[in-house]
Amino acid sequence: MAGRAPLAGIRIADFTWVWAGPHCTLQLAHLGAEVIRVETATRICVTRMLPPFAKFQPGPNRSGYFNQYNQGKKSVALDLKRPEGLEVAKQLCAISDVVVENFAAGVMDRMGLGYEVLRPLRPDLIMIALSGYGATGPDCHKVSYGPAQVPLSGFSSVTGYRGHPPMHIGISYGDPTGGLHGAVAVLAALLHRAKTGRGQYIDLSQWETTMALLPEALLAQTMNGAPPERDGNRDPHMAPHGAFRAAGDDDRWVALAVEDDAQWARLASLLGDAAPAGDRRFATLAARKANEDALEALVAGWVSQRSPEDAVEALQAAGIPAFVAARNRDLADDPHLDARGYFVALEHPEVGALKHCGVPWRMSASDSRVRAPAPCLGQHTDQVLREVCGYGEDDLARLRAANVLV
Amino acid sequence: MTGPLDGYRILEVGTGVGAAYATKLLADLGADVVKIEPPGSGDPVRRRGPFPGGVPHPEKSGLFLYLNANKRGITLDLQRRRGHEVLERLAAEADLLVHDVHPTAMAAHGLDWDRLSAASPRLVMTSIAPFGLTGPHAHWRATDLVSWSAGGLSTLNGDPARPDLPPLKAFGDQSGFQAGLNAAIPSLAALFARLASGRGEHVEVSVQESLAGILELTFEFWPYCGLVASRLGAKPIQPLCFVECRDGWIFVCCVEEHQWKAFAEIMGNPEWAEMEIFANRLARGANFDALHIFLSEYCATRSVAELYEEAQARRVPFAPVSTMGDLLASEHLKARGFFATLEHPVAGTVTVPGRPYVFSATPWAIRRPAPLLGQHTAEVLEGLGLDPVALAAEGAV
């Protein structure tokens, strides 16, 4: 909608890199905060150097990974290893509402940008650190990598096919999970500040935010002394519940779930003679769980004779939850997502107008959207130093000559 | 000490993890959340485990106890007109209402935005729906597995050596948790916007879009390079893999060359590590089958904890494949006070995942256990000047 942006007038000094921190500030940018990335070519953000690069041509401004998670932000190039650079960063923090960073514990302190340094410059500052292990504790100086958070947090030990080794879950799940929890924390702290005038420091551990999403496994252990076994796509409370290969030879699958006996009755009538009405093997959830292999074989046979789209249409028409196991291209071509205007393709100076994922929520009165493509490295250095920090041309020339704005 | 959201009044009509996790995030930060459940059966989450001893009991569901601590609970029959009237009265006193009732059932449950906002212009209402409230699939149904697939996540997980095995979901109702996170954010933003505007608004959250937005670098391979991602593609860079030690599994993680060199040193610089087929991370990826055999032979002689510590001491980001027992025993998590304990009148003492963040001024806190079914019905209704006995006689609560 065309109203005011919820975070209009809120400025974020963004020292984040890789994915967790950028995912946090992405949400705040969607909500209209002025997010100013402080970054440097001397230690370039990891995702700027990772594929996919537009048309396979590498370059720090051409990565789809970076450009997805930094939409709507500004970029200031600043070498924080130089004292003049540090001064600029401090000044930016002093006129920001929120400072966000996701370095390992202690790095901001060592750079001279710790909370105790910044708070006197801005007494109501909100600062959040999204580190892998948290800011305290005996393991806080361990090295955390996104892919390693999944096994560390416990997800891998309970994710996998029955009787097979532990599995990854396909993404560095601690990163977006940490980032989203971080955005919740920042917004709560902003509401608190609006009421009391007080800021605060927030210590977020990606490990802990990821475990927050694993209560069923952790409580199985605390209540009964044993974790759940890896069980593929099956569910203790629903059957059938799985992904089944569709017709064709291009690895396309249909995910479906039967939540109750009524849905089972409707699925049975789709299956036809293969699942005669009143077949006692499948009449109740307990019976379906007891005969799940046979049940899955019936469903697999039915799905294997249909295109994934036809199978899903038939299942959804019968009120049964189902969807193709979507690949990236399937999402990009999804008419429903298109009709909802989910994707955005804003003109980027180096990659042009390519499709990116947009905002997963809509607000009826507030202006919430992707406001700009991801910034090129240092694209807003001059603008931010002039208009936000109030530097004159002489200051800019001096900093540029000292090789600070890189 | 109080939470940052002290004083905010929130209603939840939860049918799954999504709305319940969104409001849990807010309740744990001090908001007063009243959960509305159908009389008799209660929230369907009460029927999901784990249960002590594996015996189902509506007051002992581990998932329910976790999601609903810090909330009060009332019963209200939203299938009846009288229930809708009570909901309107509750909404008039609330700042935010969060629900995940399916879009096709919203009107029947009294979740009519035009009516609620006309009566309570300051109300924010957040609707979580599998495919959003608009578009050709808005009426489609989904569960976690289906949403995880519709958002593109299940096709990111598979075993390249076993194309016969299906795309794989992550453990637990992760679609619900992600939806809850993506609902809490705009809900809080709408409350922040209201400070200036004085008016509430309607927020809708699509579970599918919430998941499509966390595909890491996979989605952009299509628009940027025209490449369709495959779950069966081998990882180009290795080792980034699970290897079995003598007492469990470890995640071997060498992204940079110096990390591989450090790991080779830990292994005693074996001859095989010098072979041309393992010369760099891409070569190790191309020859992963052979690499994995060597790594498995080595790790079988080591304990997870020793190898993890030795790698970390050299700044190599290995991680243990933590079991639930490992997590509960972690000295680090103990020192940080991560796990929390609930004292529940029926389920007893229950240890749950605790605070996901540490606020310096307004701490995250557990103040009360999850409500018994209808525990606060009388208290909440009397607070509105309604007669709970009469409403009970009508069958509305």
Per DSSP, the residues of B152-194 read: T-GGG---TT-TTSPP-PPSS-HHHHHHHHHHHHHHHHHHHHH
Nearest to A166 among B228, B242, B336 (CB): B242
Q: Does B55 touch chain A (CB under 8 A)?
A: no
Rounded to whole angstroms, the Cα distance separating A149 from B319 reads: 7
CA distances from A184 to A128, B217, B222 (A): 11, 24, 31
In this predicted complex, what is the ipTM? 0.98
Q: Does residue A181 share a domain with residue A80?
A: yes
CB A315, CB A270: distance < 8 Å: yes
* A 297-316 residues inside an 8 A Cβ radius of B: 316
Give the chain B residue whose CA is nearest to the CA of A52. Answer: B221
Q: Does residue A85 share a domain with residue A15?
A: yes
A208 to B350: CB separation less than 8 angstroms, yes or no? no
Q: Does A93 touch chain B (CB under 8 A)?
A: no
Q: Does residue A264 share a domain with residue A145?
A: no
Chain B residues whose beta carbon lies within 8 Å of the beta carbon of residue A27 = 185
Which of A332, A353, A377 is the last residue before a domain boundary? A332
HEC profile for chain A?
A: CCCCCCCCCCEEEECCCCCHHHHHHHHHHHCCCEEEEEECHHHCCHHHHCCCEHHHCCCCCCEHHHHHHCCCCEEEECCCCCHHHHHHHHHHHHCCCEEEECCCCCHHHHHCCCHHHHHHHCCCCEEEEEECCCCCCCCCCCCCCHHHHHHHCCHHHHCCCCCCCCCCCCCCCHHHHHHHHHHHHHHHHHHHHHHHCCCEEEEEEHHHHHHCCCHHHHHHHHHHCCCCCCCCCCECCECCEEEEECCCCCCCEEEEECCCHHHHHHHHHHHHHHCCCCCHHHCCHHHHHHCHHHHHHHHHHHHHCCCHHHHHHHHHHCCCCEEECCCHHHHHCCHHHHHCCCEECCEECCCEECCEECCCEEECCCCCCCCCCCCCCCCCHHHHHHHHCCCCHHHHHHHHHCCCCC
Nearest to B163 among A31, A251, A332 (CB): A251
- Containing domain of residue A349, as a range? 11-213+341-401
* B 254-293 residues inside an 8 A Cβ radius of A: 255
Nearest to A139 among B4, B242, B332 (CB): B332
* A 12-41 residues inside an 8 A Cβ radius of B: 19, 23, 27, 31
Q: Does B246 touch chain A (CB under 8 A)?
A: no
Which of A332, A359, A388 is the last residue before a domain boundary? A332
CB A148, CB A169: distance < 8 Å: no
Q: Kindly tell me the sign of the dihedral angle through the C-alpha atoms of B146, B148, B152, B155.
A: negative
Q: Is B126 left (phi over 0), alpha (psi -120 to 50) or beta?
A: beta
Q: Does residue A275 share a domain with residue A134?
A: no
State how far residue A54 is from chain B, nearest Cα, in angstroms: 4
Q: Does B208 touch chain A (CB under 8 A)?
A: yes
State how far residue B386 is from chain A, nearest Cα, in angstroms: 31
Chain B residues whose beta carbon lies within 8 Å of the beta carbon of residue A165 = 242, 244, 249
Which pLDDT value is given to residue B1?
A: 58
Q: Which two three-digit tokens encode residue B356?
A: 């996901």
Q: Does residue A345 share a domain with residue A248?
A: no
B352 to A222: CB separation less than 8 angstroms, yes or no? yes
B359 to A322: CB separation less than 8 angstroms, yes or no? no
Rounded to whole angstroms, the Cα distance separating A224 from A216 reads: 12
Rounded to whole angstroms, the Cα distance separating B270 from B272 reads: 6
* CATH number of the domain to which A76 belongs: 3.40.50.10540
Q: Does residue A207 share a domain with residue A126?
A: yes
Chain A residues whose beta carbon lies within 8 Å of the beta carbon of residue B336 = 134, 136-137, 205, 208
State how far residue A364 is from chain B, nearest Cα, in angstroms: 5
Fold of the B9-214+335-393 domain: Rossmann fold (3.40.50)
B219 to A223: CB separation less than 8 angstroms, yes or no? no
Q: Does residue A318 share a domain with residue A354?
A: no
| Residue A226 counted as domain residue | no
Q: Does B355 touch chain A (CB under 8 A)?
A: yes
Q: Does A329 touch chain B (CB under 8 A)?
A: yes
Nearest to A167 among B51, B168, B229 (CB): B168
Q: Does A383 touch chain B (CB under 8 A)?
A: no
Q: Does residue A385 share a domain with residue A367?
A: yes
Which residue in A219, A91, A115 sits closest to B340, CA to CA?
A219
Q: Does A80 touch chain B (CB under 8 A)?
A: no
* A 156-215 residues inside an 8 A Cβ radius of B: 156-161, 164-173, 175-177, 180-185, 187-192, 194-195, 198-205, 207-209, 211-215
- A79 as an active site residue: the answer is no
Which of A332, A353, A376 is the last residue before a domain boundary? A332
In a structure prediction context, what are the per-residue pLDDT tens digits for chain B, which is 397 residues long? 589 999 999 999 999 999 999 999 999 999 999 999 999 999 999 999 999 999 999 999 999 999 999 999 999 999 999 999 999 999 999 999 999 999 999 999 999 999 999 999 999 999 999 999 999 999 999 999 999 999 999 999 988 889 999 999 999 999 999 999 999 999 999 999 999 999 999 999 999 999 999 999 999 999 999 999 888 877 788 999 999 999 999 999 998 899 999 999 999 999 999 999 999 999 999 999 999 999 999 999 999 999 999 999 999 999 999 999 999 999 999 999 999 999 999 999 999 999 999 999 999 999 999 999 999 999 999 999 999 999 999 989 8
Instruction: Could you list the beta-strand ranges (E) of B14-118.
Output: 32-37, 71-75, 96-99
State how far residue B268 is from chain A, nearest Cα, in angstroms: 22
Nearest to B66 among A215, A345, A360 (CB): A215
A256 to B202: CB separation less than 8 angstroms, yes or no? no
Tell me if the pTM is above 0.95: yes
Q: Does A59 touch chain B (CB under 8 A)?
A: no
Q: Does residue A122 share a domain with residue A44?
A: yes
Q: Does residue A164 share a domain with residue A124?
A: yes
Q: Tokens 């995030």 identify what position?
A: B25
Which of A175, A235, A251, A279 is the catalytic position?
A: A175
The neighbour count for residue B139, using CB atoms within 10 Å, is 15
Select from B322, B328, B331 the residue whose CB has the most chain A CBs within 10 Å, as the one to mutate to test that interface.
B322
B209 to A358: CB separation less than 8 angstroms, yes or no? yes
CA dihedral B291, B294, B296, B302 (to 10 degrees): -130
Q: Does B29 touch chain A (CB under 8 A)?
A: yes
CB B301, CB B266: distance < 8 Å: no
Q: Does B318 touch chain A (CB under 8 A)?
A: yes
Rounded to whole angstroms, the Cα distance separating B3 from A191 reads: 11
Select from A327, A356, A359 the residue whose CB has the most chain B CBs within 10 Å, as the one to mutate to test that interface.
A327
Q: Does A151 touch chain B (CB under 8 A)?
A: yes
For chain A, the domain total comes to: 2
Give the Cα-Cα-Cα angle B253, B259, B261 (nearest 5 degrees): 125
CA distances from A352 to A62, A158, B229 (A): 10, 42, 22
B141 to A6: CB separation less than 8 angstroms, yes or no? no
Give the chain B residue whose CA is nearest to the CA of A129. Answer: B357
Domain boundaries, chain B: 9-214+335-393, 240-322
Q: Does residue A106 share a domain with residue A199?
A: yes
Q: Does residue A390 share a domain with residue A358?
A: yes
Which pLDDT value is given to residue A2?
A: 64
A237 to B47: CB separation less than 8 angstroms, yes or no? yes
Do the bridges between strand A356-357 and strand A343-344 make them parallel or antiparallel, or are there none, so unpaired?
Answer: antiparallel
CA distances from B69 to B35, B65, B158, B193, B351 (A): 11, 6, 36, 28, 12
Give the CATH number of domain B240-322. 3.30.1540.10
In a structure prediction context, what are the per-residue pLDDT tens digits for chain A, which is 406 residues long? 569 999 999 999 999 999 999 999 999 999 999 999 999 999 999 999 999 999 999 999 999 999 999 999 999 999 999 999 999 999 999 999 999 999 999 999 999 999 999 999 999 999 999 999 999 999 999 999 999 999 999 999 999 999 999 999 999 999 999 999 999 999 999 999 999 999 999 999 999 999 999 999 999 999 999 999 999 999 999 999 999 999 998 899 999 999 999 999 999 999 998 777 778 999 999 999 999 999 999 999 999 999 999 999 999 999 999 999 999 999 999 999 999 999 999 999 999 999 999 999 999 999 999 999 999 999 999 999 999 999 999 999 999 999 999 9
Torsion angles phi and psi, residue B319, rounded to 5: -145, 145
| Residue A286 counted as domain residue | yes
Select from B181, B206, B225, B259 the residue whose CB has the most chain A CBs within 10 Å, as the one to mutate to test that interface.
B181
Which pLDDT value is given to residue B231?
A: 84
